[in-house]
Structure 1
Amino acid sequence: MGLMQLRTIYNPNLFLNPSLSSSFYTTSSPISHPHCSSPIDRRAKRRREIGSRSRERVIIVASSNVAEPISWDEWKPEKGSQAPPLSDIFWPAAGAFAAMAVLGKMDQLLAPKGVSMTIAPFGAVCAVLFATPSSPAARKYNVFIAQIGCAAFGVLAFSIFGPGWLARSTGLAAAIAFMIYTRSVHPPAASLPLLFVDGAKLHGLNFWYAFFPGAAGCILLCLIQEVVCYLKDNFKF
């Protein structure tokens, strides 16, 4: 008996689903040559080879998704962002100058009492209120709740642990937890506990520090913010 013609059909999906291989390899009649293996054995061996290749292919594809290129977008300006108009730069800067000038004048009046209104966190407060007035941190609720609460936790930590790293760490941790719990995150207020623990001149205020100079100074800064926002909206150049 002669060999019958063997017809094969190639399908690339076989590498993805080896179970389909048997339906694509057919013969018109079995081969009866004595030195050849049976068609069933050849098909079983072929399925094992295709299954092994498909498993290797899946592993390679999965491992290629692990390593992704480093993105440097966060180190660049926002895409499509344009330089702000000169008025949007001038008025916030002028507002910061006016705020520090007024606080400085108040310091001169309060100097005989040994207290000061100008503290470092007010620089960060000015940046938040004047440069990003629409941000959540610039909301009046966030400003005053965070200023009062964080300052109070600084006094409490100092009263329990005294000066040193433990009071600073505890006061800052409690202040951050307080802002998150009350939904009043205002980053400049987080520095108030550290300022009180390390500021010997402020220790005499005790729990009055919760209202002065932080909350009291923010009243002035919020008033100046309203003026700055009005000037930015109505006097553009």
Structure 2
Amino acid sequence: MPAASPFGGYRLGRTRGAIAIAVVAYASSRAQLPLVLGSFGASCVLLFGFPDSPFSQPRNVIGGHLLASLVGLVFLHLLGDAWWSMALAAGCTIAGMQLTRTVHPPAGSNPVIVMLSGASWPFLLTPTLCGALALVGVALIVNNLRTGRAYPTYWW
């Protein structure tokens, strides 16, 4: 059985995750640009609940989301949104993240999101890249507020 988080960890994760989504959603509203992806909620679980995990490092969060959305867009525009192209895109996303050492499990849903929404190429910039950068930016600030904490563990 996994070890339980210390009592304060639950409050910190909850508060930090809420702050991150609030910042990205508010920026999206103010800029009138799509900056929020459904997969960003799961990214917050890692970034603020498990910030030392390899899956939570900037390389993985940004690279994983970008690669996954790119794969989804390529498959959507070359093969359409059929069930089998969605499945191939998801599988290729997993392999691509493993090959590039940018595994970020929440990003695995991006090809599905791309296909279900019929996204176009600007989806790579907004919401994918800008939103992932904003999440990492918030994580850099709030995960380092407490002394003795150093986020990220590594960049590249």
TM-score of the two chains, using structure 1 as the length reference: 0.57
Query: For residues 232 and 127 of structure 1, what CA distance do their matches in structure 2 show?
Result: 18
CA distance in 2, matches of 1:181, 1:116: 29
Tell me whether 1:221 sits opposite 2:135 in the alignment: yes
Map 1:198-237 to 2 at 5 A: 198-200=116-118, 203=119, 205-206=120-121, 208-233=122-147
Asked which structure has the greater RCO (Cα within 8 Å, sep 6+), the reply is 2
The residue type equivalent to 1:108 in the other structure is: S
Counterpart position of 1:120: 38
From 84, 88, 113, the equivalent of 1:195 is 113
Determine the C-alpha separation between the residues in 1 that align with 2:116 and 2:21. Answer: 22
Residue 155 of structure 1: aligned partner: 73
Q: Which residue of 1 aligns with 2:85?
A: 167
1:137 aligns with 2:55: yes
CA contact under 8 A between 2:72 and 2:110: conserved in structure 1? yes
> What per-residue deviation string (whole Å, max 9, x for no partner) do you get for residues 15-60 of structure 1?
xxxxxxxxxxxxxxxxxxxxxxxxxxxxxxxxxxxxxxxxxxxxxx
Give the equivalent residue in structure 1 for 2:152. Answer: none
Q: Distance in 2 between matches of 1:232 and 1:92?
A: 13
Task: Say which of 1, 6, 11 aligns to 1:90.
Answer: 11
Q: Give the gaps of 5 or more residues in structure 2.
A: 149-156
RMSD of aligned residue pairs (Cα, Å): 2.1
The alignment of Structure 1 onto Structure 2 pairs a total of residues equal to 149
What's the secondary structure of 2:23's corresponding residue?
A: helix
Provide closer, same or farther for how the CA distance between residues 83 and 218 of structure 1 changes in structure 2, counting only shifts above 3 A: closer
Quote the sequence identity (%): 24
Q: Measure how far apart 1:91 and its partner are.
A: 2.1
Q: Which amino acid aligns with 1:99?
A: A
Which structure has the bigger radius of gyration? 1
After TM superposition, give the deviation of residue 82 of structure 1 in Å.
5.5
Partner of 1:214, secondary structure, is helix
**Compared CA separation, residues 196 and 233, structure 1 to 2 (3 A):** same
Question: Contact between 2:61 and 2:136, CA under 8 Å: does it hold in 1?
Answer: no
